[in-house]
């Protein structure tokens, strides 16, 4: 005798459908992120917003001002720091919404004559509705800006190489990580014809600033270098011409660029370089000895007639060259401690037997472990070169 399972009651099916809708809604809102991930994202965004507004706040307590008055002054500065980020029309909208929200609850009612319908204005409801309208306007701006930034990011991706070219006797790996959607860091390795045979230019640069302005200047830096390196001349002549071009676009030196530019000749195993105010790259010899490549001059875009000097080193089998931007060594954790060159040196010494790509992954992972969920303040770029036999 067979038995059949009775269908679940109507109430149970409704609860199941409702639970499914709630779960789908929650997944759509959170994009599948766990609560700890959401909390970490909120903390990062809150810190970023605080840094944005705190730039306009002077929290210094004036002598003779009591704590209550000081707190009121700081709150007032914060209020203006927020409201001045809005357009005038949206400032008015925000002020009206705040007035309506903080009015006594219940609103004001009018009673008409007999037979007429009375009505009541709920100020809290209309204040909340105005705040929602302001949110919609701000989100609309953010969506448009995000779309434009995504296009800028795609363009910047086209400008930067995805993989290094094959260079006889060298293994090369590089990576970059922007602090925002687009970055002001630049890196490249490409061939350059010369009278001495084929050579390869290596460049790592860091434009002062972040985000869109720095990214636009980074694009001009890349264009000028690719154009000028096609003309004959020494490395110092190339850097001098790039500096002259940078000075014409640097807003009187406010938008300068630090750069390390080197030319490698495979037939001779020689690396000629110019360091234009950049972090001194690390040259680790096979013996473990450390050399710093510091010869060069001032950053590009500061002085049009600035002199630049070059130096030549020979790369031997087992040598490592580490070129980085200050976003690597100045990366901070939640305790505001910097990653530092010493920790980068430890990673280099412990990974000399690895391939550059593997060591690069190890360094970036170690950087992530160090910073944790602390916000990234600057673009991070790292280029590793290992000399083979």
Query: How far is residue 214's CA from residue 218's CA, in Å, rounded to a whole number?
Result: 6
Please state the domain count of the chain.
2
CATH number, position 171: 3.60.40.10
Domain housing 96: 92-101+122-159
267 and 379 assigned to the same domain = yes
268 and 378 assigned to the same domain = yes
Specify the pLDDT at position 34.
Answer: 84
Specify the pLDDT at position 154.
Answer: 75
155 and 283 assigned to the same domain = no
Specify the pLDDT at position 113.
Answer: 57
The alpha carbon of 289 is separated from its chain's Cα centroid by a whole number of angstroms, namely: 33
Looking at 111, 132, 159, the residue that finishes a domain is 159
235 and 133 assigned to the same domain = no
What would the two tokens of residue 153 be?
Answer: 């990011």
188 and 151 assigned to the same domain = no
Query: Has residue 34 been placed in a domain?
Result: no
Contact 310, 295 (CB under 8 A): yes
148 and 253 assigned to the same domain = no
Query: Has residue 51 been placed in a domain?
Result: no
Query: Has residue 12 been placed in a domain?
Result: no
Q: What is the pLDDT along the chain (389 residues), one digit of tens a residue?
A: 555 666 667 777 788 888 888 888 888 888 888 888 888 778 777 777 777 777 778 778 777 778 888 888 888 888 888 888 888 888 888 888 888 888 776 555 555 555 555 556 678 888 888 989 888 888 888 877 777 777 777 777 777 888 899 999 999 999 988 887 777 788 999 988 776 678 999 999 998 877 777 778 888 888 888 888 888 888 999 999 999 888 887 666 677 899 999 999 998 999 999 999 999 999 999 999 999 999 999 999 898 889 999 999 999 999 999 999 999 999 998 888 999 999 999 999 999 999 999 999 999 999 999 998 788 888 899 999 999 86
DSSP secondary structure letter of residue 300: B
186 and 133 assigned to the same domain = no
DSSP secondary structure letter of residue 376: P
Query: How far is residue 99's CA from residue 109's CA, in Å, rounded to a whole number?
Result: 18
Any idea what the Cα angle at residue 359 is, between residues 354 and 360, rounded to 5°? 150
126 and 250 assigned to the same domain = no
355 and 324 assigned to the same domain = yes
Query: How far is residue 142's CA from residue 155's CA, in Å, rounded to a whole number?
Result: 20
Query: Has residue 36 been placed in a domain?
Result: no
Query: How far is residue 261's CA from residue 249's CA, in Å, rounded to a whole number?
Result: 20
Contact 360, 191 (CB under 8 A): no
46 exposed, middle or buried (CB, 10 Å; 0-12, 13-18, 19+)?
A: exposed
Contacts of 37 (CB under 8 A, 6+ apart): none
Q: Where are the beta strands (DSSP E) in the chain?
A: 108-110, 119-121, 170-177, 185-192, 199-207, 257-265, 270-276, 282-284, 290-292, 296-297, 311-314, 320-324, 380-387
251 and 277 assigned to the same domain = yes
**Within 10 Å of residue 356's Cβ, how many Cβ atoms?**
21
Q: pTM of the prediction? A: 0.72
Specify the pLDDT at position 8.
Answer: 64
Half-sphere exposure of 12 (CA within 13 A, CB side): 4
Query: Has residue 35 been placed in a domain?
Result: no
230 and 130 assigned to the same domain = no
Give Rg (Cα) of the chain: 29
DSSP string, 115-153: TSPPEEE-HHHHHHHHHHHHHHHHHHHHHHHHHHHHHHH
259 and 209 assigned to the same domain = yes
Specify the pLDDT at position 318.
Answer: 93
25 exposed, middle or buried (CB, 10 Å; 0-12, 13-18, 19+)?
A: exposed
Looking at 159, 184, 209, the residue that finishes a domain is 159
């Amino acid at each position: 005798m067979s038995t059949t399972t009775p269908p679940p009651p109507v109430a149970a099916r409704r609860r199941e459908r409702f639970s499914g809708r709630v779960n789908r809604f929650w997944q759509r809102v959170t994009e599948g992120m766990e609560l700890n991930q959401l909390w970490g994202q909120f903390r990062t965004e809150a810190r970023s917003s605080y840094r944005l507004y705190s730039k306009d706040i002077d929290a210094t307590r004036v002598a003779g001002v009591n704590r209550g008055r000081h707190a009121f002054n700081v709150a007032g500065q914060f209020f203006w720091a927020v409201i001045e980020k809005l357009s005038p029309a949206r400032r008015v909208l925000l002020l009206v919404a705040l007035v309506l929200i903080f009015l006594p609850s219940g609103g004001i009612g009018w009673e008409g004559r007999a037979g007429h319908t009375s009505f009541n204005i709920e100020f809290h409801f209309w204040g909340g509705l105005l705040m929602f309208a302001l949110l919609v306007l701000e989100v609309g701006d953010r969506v448009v800006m995000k779309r434009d930034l995504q296009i800028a990011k795609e363009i910047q991706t086209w400008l930067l190489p995805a993989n290094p070219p094959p260079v006889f006797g060298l293994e090369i790996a590089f990576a970059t990580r922007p602090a925002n959607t687009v970055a002001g860091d630049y890196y490249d390795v490409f061939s350059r014809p010369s009278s001495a045979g084929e050579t390869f230019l290596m460049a790592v640069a860091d434009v002062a600033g972040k985000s869109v302005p720095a990214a636009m200047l980074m694009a001009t830096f890349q264009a000028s270098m690719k154009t000028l390196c096609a003309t004959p001349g020494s490395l110092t002549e190339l850097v001098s011409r790039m500096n002259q071009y940078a000075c014409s676009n640097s807003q009187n030196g406010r938008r300068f660029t630090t750069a390390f530019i080197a030319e490698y000749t495979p037939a001779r195993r020689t690396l000629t370089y110019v360091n234009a105010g950049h972090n001194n790259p690390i040259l680790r010899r096979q013996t473990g000895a450390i050399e710093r490549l510091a010869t060069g001059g001032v950053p590009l875009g500061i002085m049009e007639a600035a002199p630049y000097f070059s130096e030549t080193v020979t790369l031997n089998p087992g040598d490592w060259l580490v070129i980085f931007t200050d976003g690597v060594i100045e990366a901070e954790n939640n305790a505001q401690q910097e990653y530092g060159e010493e920790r980068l040196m430890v990673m280099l010494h412990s990974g000399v037997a690895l391939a550059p790509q593997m060591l690069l992954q190890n360094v970036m992972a170690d950087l992530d472990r160090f910073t944790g969920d602390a916000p990234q303040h600057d673009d991070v770029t790292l280029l590793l070169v290992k000399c083979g036999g």
